[in-house]
C-alpha cells in the first residue's frame, strides 16, 4: 500500500460565501507564498456562485473545496468545519476578500517555530477607496481590539484547549473577536511579527462590490519593493496625523481605547458593556448593511 503523505506544516482556512470574484485573488496570494508547505481548505457557506470552479481552476492538489449544505450567515461554521479537516501543525486564516503578501506564511511560521508564541500575527493595511490607507496593529498584552483573522496563525493544539468558534447568537461580540479574546483570557501569548504582510480591502457598499484587488495584486506581483513603499507611505501618513491639530473624534477614540485596554487587563470583554444589544446584533447589522438579509 502507498503510505499516507506527511501532513503539511500549515493548514490555511478560507471561509467564503458567493465572492468568487475576490476569492481568486486570495487564493493566488496563497500560491505565491515563499513558504510552500501548506494545504488550503476553502469552505463555502452553501455557495451558489462559481466559487468551486475558481478553486478548481488552479489545478493545485493542495487546494481543497467543501461546500456546506446550509448557509450559516457567518464564517464561524465554515472555520469550524475547516478546523476539523485541517492536518497542519499550524492554522492560518485568510478572509476571502483579503490578500497576503508573499512572505506572510514564512514570517509567522518562523515566529511559532521559535516556541515563543501561541498566536503569531502581523501588520495589516486597510485599503480604502474613499480615504488614505492605514495600518492595523493591535498591541498586546492588552490589545483594545483583537486582530483581524487574516493576520493570525496559531498552533492547531489551541483548538483542543479553547474549543471552536462560537456562532453569532452565542456571543455579545463578533465571533472572530470573541475567539481571539477567549484565547487571550486563557493567557495564550500573542506575538507580533513586525512586518506588513496582509492587505484588507473595504468596498464601502453592497456585498457584491469589490475593492482595489486587481490593482494591488498587480503591484505586488510586479514591484519587488512594494512592501517597502507601502510601509513608507503609511509612516508618512501616521506622522502627519500625529502632528495634526487635536480633533474631538480622534480624542474620543483614544479615550475609548484606553478604557477598553483597562477592561482587558481585568479579563473583561468590552463587548459585554453593550448590554442593550442582543447576542448576534453586530452580525445582523453587518448583513443588513450589505443587503444580505
pLDDT digits (tens, 9 = 90+) for 85-143: 999 999 999 999 999 999 999 999 999 999 889 999 999 999 998 889 999 999 999 99
Distance of alpha carbon 197 from alpha carbon 38, whole angstroms: 17
Res 31 pLDDT > 80: yes
Domain ranges, residue 67: 10-289
Quick check: 27 and 98 in contact, CB under 8 A?
no
User: CB under 8 Å to 156, separation ≥6 — which residues?
Assistant: 11, 86, 88, 89, 90, 91
Taking residues 64-70, report their average pLDDT: 98
The overall average pLDDT reported for the chain is 93
Nearest CA among 92, 145, 286 for reference residue 203: 286
Distance of alpha carbon 170 from alpha carbon 54, whole angstroms: 33
Cell numbers found for residue 77: 461554521
Res 3 pLDDT > 70: no
β partners of residue 41 = 13, 64
- Cβ-in-10-Å burial (0-12, 13-18, 19+) of 275 comes to exposed
Helix (H, G, I), strand (E, B) or coil at 286: helix
Task: Look at residue 282 in the predicted model and tell me its pLDDT.
Answer: 73
Residue 147 lies in a domain: yes
Residue 35 lies in a domain: yes
Helical segments of 39-162, H only: 51-57, 76-85, 104-113, 158-162
Q: What is the pTM of this model?
A: 0.95
Domain count, the chain: 1
Residue 30 lies in a domain: yes
Quick check: 133 and 234 in contact, CB under 8 A?
yes
Residue 122 lies in a domain: yes
At 5, the pLDDT band (50, 70, 90 cuts) reads: confident
CATH of the domain at 36: 3.90.550.10
Q: Which letter does DSSP use for residue 172 in this model?
A: S
Taking residues 274-287, report their average pLDDT: 76
Residue 69 half-sphere exposure toward CB, CA atoms < 13 A: 0
Distance of alpha carbon 80 from alpha carbon 149, whole angstroms: 14
Res 52 pLDDT > 70: yes
Task: Look at residue 116 in the predicted model and tell me its pLDDT.
Answer: 83
Residue 5 lies in a domain: no
Residue 1 lies in a domain: no
Residue 4 lies in a domain: no
Res 225 pLDDT > 90: yes
At 166, the pLDDT band (50, 70, 90 cuts) reads: very high
Task: Look at residue 2 in the predicted model and tell me its pLDDT.
Answer: 62
Amino acid at each position: 500500500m502507498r503510505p499516507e503523505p506527511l501532513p503539511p506544516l500549515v493548514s490555511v482556512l478560507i471561509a467564503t460565501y458567493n465572492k468568487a470574484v475576490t476569492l481568486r485573488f486570495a487564493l493566488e496570494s496563497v500560491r505565491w507564498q515563499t513558504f510552500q508547505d501548506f494545504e488550503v481548505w476553502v469552505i463555502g457557506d452553501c455557495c451558489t456562485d462559481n466559487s468551486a470552479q475558481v478553486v478548481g481552476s488552479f489545478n493545485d492538489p493542495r487546494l481543497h473545496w467543501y461546500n456546506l449544505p446550509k448557509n450559516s450567515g457567518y464564517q464561524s461554521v465554515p472555520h469550524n468545519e475547516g478546523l476539523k479537516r485541517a492536518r497542519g501543525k499550524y492554522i492560518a486564516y485568510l478572509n476571502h476578500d483579503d490578500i497576503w503578501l508573499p512572505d506572510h506564511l514564512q514570517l509567522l511560521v518562523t515566529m511559532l517555530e521559535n516556541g515563543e508564541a501561541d498566536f503569531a500575527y502581523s501588520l495589516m493595511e486597510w485599503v480604502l477607496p474613499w480615504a488614505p490607507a492605514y495600518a492595523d496593529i493591535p498591541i498586546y498584552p492588552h490589545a483594545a481590539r483583537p486582530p483581524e483573522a487574516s493576520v493570525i496563525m496559531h498552533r492547531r493544539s489551541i483548538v483542543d484547549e479553547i474549543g471552536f468558534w462560537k456562532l453569532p447568537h452565542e456571543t455579545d461580540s463578533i465571533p472572530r473577536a470573541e475567539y481571539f479574546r477567549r484565547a487571550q483570557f486563557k493567557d495564550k501569548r500573542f506575538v507580533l511579527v513586525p512586518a506588513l504582510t496582509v492587505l484588507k480591502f473595504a468596498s464601502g457598499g453592497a456585498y457584491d462590490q469589490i475593492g482595489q484587488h486587481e490593482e494591488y495584486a498587480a503591484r505586488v506581483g510586479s514591484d519587488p519593493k512594494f512592501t517597502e513603499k507601502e510601509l513608507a507611505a503609511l509612516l508618512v501618513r501616521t506622522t502627519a496625523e500625529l502632528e495634526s491639530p487635536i480633533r474631538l473624534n480622534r480624542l474620543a477614540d483614544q479615550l475609548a481605547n484606553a478604557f477598553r485596554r483597562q477592561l482587558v487587563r481585568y479579563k473583561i470583554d468590552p463587548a459585554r458593556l453593550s448590554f442593550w444589544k442582543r447576542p448576534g446584533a453586530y452580525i445582523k447589522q453587518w448583513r443588513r448593511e450589505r443587503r444580505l438579509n
